[in-house]
Chains A and B, each alone.
Chain A
Amino acid sequence: MSHISPILWQFLVKWMTSFPLFPPEASKVAPEMDALFFFMVLVSLVGLTLVVLLVTSFSILYSKERHPVAVQVEGSTLLEATWTIIPLGLFLVMFVWGSIIYFRVYTPPANSMNIYVVGKQWMWKAEHPGGQHEINSLHVPTGRAVQLTLISQDVFHSFSIPAFRVKREAIPGRYTTVWFEPTVPGTYHLFCTQYCGTNHSAMIGEVVVMTPDDYKKWLDESTSGTSLAQNGERLFASLSCNACHNASAGARGPNLANIYGSKLTLSNGGTVTADDAYLRESILNPSQHVTEGYAPIMPTYQGQVSEEGVISLVEFIKNLNSDYRIQQTLNTTDLLPESEASPNRPAAPAATGPAKQGMVKQ
């Protein structure tokens, strides 16, 4: 084989040995999506074969040598109706099937664990509730529904994990969500698929799927000491949110305990569910989201809190289960160091460390 150039030889060897044709299926939804995918491949192949078969057989049967004089055929309503209705039926099947999967991918189950992801030029920052930060990687356990709450700090990005068959755009100014349940431990590609500027192709990373035990180990090793909610708590205090949002009678702002997920009546008469998006909007554009019975006096924090800051505030408010914590933040400036936060209930009532201004942008 010496006459083959080494590079070509190397290439041929590579070709023979590793040549993926289909991505791994590593999430619960992946096989479902692949079923639809292969159904569509099948339909396409049948359709293509039909067209090719028709064209070639007619070309042979009715070539000029064999069939010198054309017979004029006007058309056939029956035939035309057939190839209108059959494709239409198939397309509708694909529509319904596709929509079912779409709704599955974008409707997180209630008990999923939430990880926040902030996209910026050109990196992904993942914020785990336990305070673990990651850049361009994401560690998740198998067997648990993981919800991602995505937002972008600058331009459109798109969070894509081909092995999970999920993808969602991270857009500036608004949360989007996606969820998946990893099934096979391993390391998978993470791509930004929405063109986002110069280093778009460098905005890649890896998704590490671990067994629950390994994941727990990883969480313990990489904790930053304070959970996201604790960060939020500090921010809550340093921005003096508790001056109004406290449980005292006659407080100027609504009590935020247990507010997450509840239905609120707004001062303009509408009702809204207090979800992540609502909480974020209320911090940045408060005047449009005033709860009934309160005056629109809350100042906007647009430009004062970074997206990570907003996320920790949201996470803090989400986990406010009692007035006790608000009272505590109201009165405490230096607290005991943090005890270990479990991933399930990251913001379990606990004391917080010294308040840091790190989250506040000047």
Chain B
Amino acid sequence: MSSTIVNLPDQSTARIPKVNFITKENGLLSWLLTGDHKRIATLYLISITFFFFIGGALAGLIRLELLTPQADLMATDTYNKVFTMHGIIMIFFFLVPSVPATLGNFLMPMMIGAKDLALPKINLLSWYLYIAAGILAIYTMATGGVDTGWTFTTPLSTHYVNTNVLTTGLAVFIAGFSSIFTGLNFIVTIHKMRCPGMTWFRLPLFVWSNYAASLLMVLGTPVLAITIVLIALERTIGIGVFDPAKGGDPILFQHLFWFYSHPAVYIMILPGMGVISETISTFSRKRVFGYTAVAFSSVAIAIFGFFVWAHHMFIMGISNYAVLVFSLLTMLVAVPSAIKIFNWAFTLYKGSITFETPMLYTFGFMGLFTIGGMTGVFLGSTGTDIHLTETYFIVAHFHFIMVGGMLMAFLAGIHFWWPKWTGRMYPEKISQLAAVVTFIGFNLTFFPQFILGTLGMPRRYAAYPPEFQVLNVFSTAGATILGVGYLLPILYLTWSLKYGEIAGNNPWQATGLEWQTQSPPLTENFLVTPIMDHEAYDYEWLEHQKEKEVTSV
């Protein structure tokens, strides 16, 4: 028995299918005017990778600055602009669209047996909005940047800085609409475009979690939009809604902002959880343990996610009664995440586990997400929140969720579906190495920050007391390793586009409908509309299929 499930076709005879979504049409215009979800996903993949590396470069600058206690690499205002742009680019231009707009866009229609998303033009529009917003953000950065922090806290952002708040706000506003359209498209598609036999409880869990995330996008993002409009009005003509000098309440801004921005963290993590459900099932050859619980926990997170926003404001002087309620609800929202972790762990039970790259990233996700989730409880509990909030503890916490969780899941997904997307495999050994390097680099970068936060080092500091230096040096060293871990995939994935082995339709022998079509898929995904006649993750059905094929040949 070999220790891998990878099953590639005979390389001497195998060919990439002549007709696929990439070769269907040629020329730049055929890409820029496409309605094909897979091409739009490809456009998204290229653009978010670009923004990820911009955001990553800014993160590198932050870590370099923090190597020494003094603000010596850059002036404090430059540092403030750097971390602001790092936050804005990473959140609005990488994390929010990362899995949904790339993997989700690429896979969702195939997973439910549809030819395309319900609204292909809206899908394309959402990419153009994203690009317009991205260009605006880069323009902002080039013309002096912005130093409000990604949270745009009033009255700082409205009356006390003279950087490009308006253009940044506009960029975020437009990016918000891009994300609304993606979410809206997903919801419509999942409701209306499922193939015959694809009942709700036969949907892959990736679809469930993207559905939950889409709900958040559709319901949460508009509140951010109106908040930004009010900020812009406040800043330009001073309407006074958030200005205490005119009788406004800056806390109201916090309420409206976090009404979106807390659900936004679930927008960022839920699709990643979907990826993990797919990979962990495939590489343990087993149906996800407690499918229904995992599916419902996604929806539960989405719904509860709307009731907890004020936990970002515990020390801001909101009413203590509200603090109690929001803290209690925060504790409740932690439960579905715990359920998911244990269900994934038990999916391995009695499985037949192999350790290909996506699975390594998945293990990384599970460990880091557990730490990130548990430290979230430290912050949800009001008592410890007082000490830990606004310090590096919270920085470490959300990086464990966002980078350790979401980015690991994103990379797991990219490696998992890469052969489907391009028709070629990447080199396995080096990609496993990259996964391990990423994991080590990540822990070295962010674990010391928990200790820094407990010691009280505030976030967004360009200079800090010298006794914190040792841990900061660790963190910067880890960031360097992490950087290598992220550069490696770019290199070998690009290499694989031309030199990778031909993957065939189903290299992982996975059960999803997307694996039952050719790689790369056809423009309308399937030759004929599939009919779902089995449950999701039905490996026995798959075995059955293979036997059939063998006998029919």
Interface residues of A (CB under 8 A from B): 11, 14-15, 18-23, 33, 36-37, 40, 43-44, 47-48, 51-52, 54-55, 58-59, 62-65, 67-76, 79-80, 83-84, 87-88, 91-92, 94-95, 97-103, 105-106, 121, 154-156, 158, 160, 162-163, 165-169, 171-174, 176, 189, 191-202, 204, 285, 302
Among listed B44-52, B257-265, B310-318, B525-533, interface-contacting one = B310-318
- Check A70 against B473 for contact (C-beta < 8 Å): no
Distance (whole angstroms) from the CB of B296 to the closest CB of chain A: 11
Q: Which residues of A contact B382 (CB under 8 A)?
A: 95, 98-99, 101-102
Among listed B35-43, B195-203, B224-232, B333-341, interface-contacting one = B333-341
- Check B339 against A165 for contact (C-beta < 8 Å): no
- Check A158 against B315 for contact (C-beta < 8 Å): yes
- Check B461 against A201 for contact (C-beta < 8 Å): yes
Task: Identify which of A48, A58, A76, A79 contacts B353 (C-beta below 8 A).
Answer: A58
- Check B353 against A64 for contact (C-beta < 8 Å): yes
Would you mind naming 29 contact pairs between A and B with Cβ atoms under 8 Å apart? A44-B377, A47-B338, A52-B367, A54-B342, A58-B345, A59-B353, A70-B350, A70-B539, A75-B290, A75-B291, A91-B335, A91-B377, A94-B331, A95-B328, A95-B381, A97-B383, A102-B323, A102-B385, A102-B386, A154-B155, A155-B155, A167-B389, A172-B245, A194-B153, A195-B80, A195-B156, A198-B76, A200-B80, A201-B464
Taking A43-B374, A99-B382, A197-B156 as contacts, is the C-beta distance between A20 and B467 under 8 angstroms? yes
Q: Which residues of A contact B34 (CB under 8 A)?
A: none
Binary flags per residue of B344-377, CB closer than 8 Å to A gives 1, else 0: 0110111111110000000100110011001101
Distance (whole angstroms) from the CB of A31 to the closest CB of chain B: 12
Task: Identify which of A43, A65, A75 contacts B289 (C-beta below 8 A).
Answer: A75
Q: Which residues of B contact A67 (CB under 8 A)?
A: 350-353
Give CA–CA (A23, B464) in the complex, Å. Answer: 15
- Check A84 against B339 for contact (C-beta < 8 Å): yes
Complex: chain A residue closest to B374, CB-CB: A44
Binary flags per residue of B201-224, CB closer than 8 Å to A gives 1, else 0: 000000000000000000000000
Complex: chain A residue closest to B388, CB-CB: A37
Q: Which residues of B contact A155 (CB under 8 A)?
A: 153, 155-156, 160
Q: A160-B458, A174-B244 are in contact. List 9 more A-B contacts (CB 8 A).
A: A51-B345, A63-B3, A71-B286, A84-B338, A94-B380, A95-B381, A102-B383, A171-B316, A195-B151
B136 within 8 A of A: no
Distance (whole angstroms) from the CB of A238 to the closest CB of chain B: 23
- Check A156 against B470 for contact (C-beta < 8 Å): no
Can you list the 7 inter-chain pairs with the closest CB atoms, starting with the nearest?
Answer: A162-B456, A101-B383, A173-B244, A98-B381, A75-B290, A98-B383, A102-B382
- Check B293 against A47 for contact (C-beta < 8 Å): no
B255 within 8 A of A: no
Tell me the chain B residues, 143-193 only, with Cβ under 8 Å from chain A: 147, 149, 151, 153, 155-156, 159-161
Give CA–CA (A198, B163) in the complex, Å. Answer: 11
Give CA–CA (A59, B316) in the complex, Å. Answer: 46
Give CA–CA (A162, B393) in the complex, Å. Answer: 12
Distance (whole angstroms) from the CB of B252 to the closest CB of chain A: 12
B302 within 8 A of A: no
Give CA–CA (A94, B362) in the complex, Å. Answer: 29
Task: Identify which of B293, B327, B346 contacts A99 (C-beta below 8 A).
Answer: B327
Taking A59-B353, A70-B351, A73-B349 as contacts, is the C-beta distance between A36 and B383 under 8 angstroms? yes
Q: Which residues of B contact A94 (CB under 8 A)?
A: 331, 377, 380-381
Give CA–CA (A352, B156) in the complex, Å. Answer: 39
Complex: chain A residue closest to B83, CB-CB: A195
Q: Which residues of A contact B285 (CB under 8 A)?
A: 69-70
Complex: chain B residue closest to A57, CB-CB: B348
B518 within 8 A of A: no
Give CA–CA (A194, B160) in the complex, Å. Answer: 14
Distance (whole angstroms) from the CB of B548 to the closest CB of chain A: 19
B-side interface residues, number (CB < 8 Å): 101
- Check B156 against A192 for contact (C-beta < 8 Å): no
Q: Which residues of A contact B247 (CB under 8 A)?
A: 285
- Check B250 against A173 for contact (C-beta < 8 Å): yes
Give CA–CA (A154, B245) in the complex, Å. Answer: 9
Task: Identify which of A91, A167, A191 contacts B334 (C-beta below 8 A).
Answer: A91
Complex: chain A residue closest to B244, CB-CB: A173
- Check B381 against A97 for contact (C-beta < 8 Å): yes
- Check A51 against B473 for contact (C-beta < 8 Å): no
- Check B1 against A65 for contact (C-beta < 8 Å): yes
Q: Which residues of A contact B153 (CB under 8 A)?
A: 155-156, 194-195
- Check A40 against B349 for contact (C-beta < 8 Å): no
B497 within 8 A of A: no
Give CA–CA (A79, B346) in the complex, Å. Answer: 10
- Check A68 against B383 for contact (C-beta < 8 Å): no
Distance (whole angstroms) from the CB of A239 to the closest CB of chain B: 20
B517 within 8 A of A: no
Binary flags per residue of B372-405, CB closer than 8 Å to A gives 1, else 0: 0011011011111111011100000000000000
- Check B539 against A197 for contact (C-beta < 8 Å): no
Give CA–CA (A189, B387) in the complex, Å. Answer: 13
Distance (whole angstroms) from the CB of B235 to the closest CB of chain A: 14
Q: Which residues of B contact A173 (CB under 8 A)?
A: 244-245, 249-250
Distance (whole angstroms) from the CB of A280 to the closest CB of chain B: 12
Binary flags per residue of B282-294, CB closer than 8 Å to A gives 1, else 0: 0011110111110
Residue of B4, B390, B462 contacting most chain A CB atoms (<10 Å)? B390
Complex: chain B residue closest to A121, CB-CB: B160
Q: Which residues of A contact B284 (CB under 8 A)?
A: 62, 70
Distance (whole angstroms) from the CB of B365 to the closest CB of chain A: 11
Give CA–CA (A165, B464) in the complex, Å. Answer: 18
Distance (whole angstroms) from the CB of B145 to the closest CB of chain A: 12
